[in-house]
Amino acid sequence: MNSNVTNADWQKAWSGRFEKKNTPLMERFNASISIDIRLWWADIQVNFAWAKALVKTGVLTGKELEFIQNGLQQIQQEFETDTFQITPSDEDIHMAIERRLTELIGEAGAKIHTGRSRNDQVVTDVRLYLKRKLGELQKLTRQFQQALVESAQNYRQLIMPGYTHLQPAQAILFSHYLLSLFYALERDQNRFRDLLPRLDILPLGAGALAGSAFAIDRNLLANELGFQKISENSIDAISDRDFMLEFIYILAQIQVHLSRYAEDLIIWSSAEFGFVELDDAWSTGSSMMPQKKNPDSLELIRGKTARVLGLQNQLFVLLKGLPLTYSKDLQEDKAAIFATIDIVADSLQVFTGVIESLKVNEGRMKARLDSALFATDLADYLVKKGIPFRKSHHLVGQVVRWGIENHCPIDKIPFEVYEQISPVFERSLYEIFDWKHSIEVRDLPGGTGFNSVKQQIEKAKRLLEES
Q: How many helices (H) and strands (E) would you count in the chain?
A: 19, 6
Task: Tell me how far, at minimum, the Cβ of 119 lies from ligand ARG, in Å.
Answer: 5
Residue 31 vs 152, nearer CB to ligand ARG:
31
Task: Tell me how far, at minimum, the Cβ of 347 lies from ligand ARG, in Å.
Answer: 26
CA distance 110 to 40: 18
Q: Supply the DSSP symbol for 444.
A: S
Residue tagged active-site, from 165, 287, 407, 428: 165
Q: What is the DSSP string of 384-443?
A: HTT--HHHHHHHHHHHHHHHHHTT--GGGS-HHHHHHH-TT--GGGGGG--HHHHHHTT-
Residue 286 among the catalytic residues? yes
CA distance 214 to 116: 9
Task: Tell me how far, at minimum, the Cβ of 327 lies from ligand ARG, in Å.
Answer: 8
C-beta separation of 345 from 327 below 8 A: no
Residue 37 vs 360, nearer CB to ligand ARG:
37
Residues in the chain: 467
Please name the amino acid found at residue 300.
L
Residues that bind ligand ARG (CB under 6 A): 32, 36, 92, 118-119, 122, 326, 328, 330-331, 334
Collect all residues with Cβ–Cβ distance below 8 Å to 70 and sequence separation of at least 6: 105
Task: Tell me how far, at minimum, the Cβ of 51 lies from ligand ARG, in Å.
Answer: 19
CA distance 77 to 39: 15
- Taking Cα atoms as reference points, which of 35, 46, 59, 34 lies closest to residue 101? 46
Q: Which active-site residues does the annotation give?
A: 165, 286
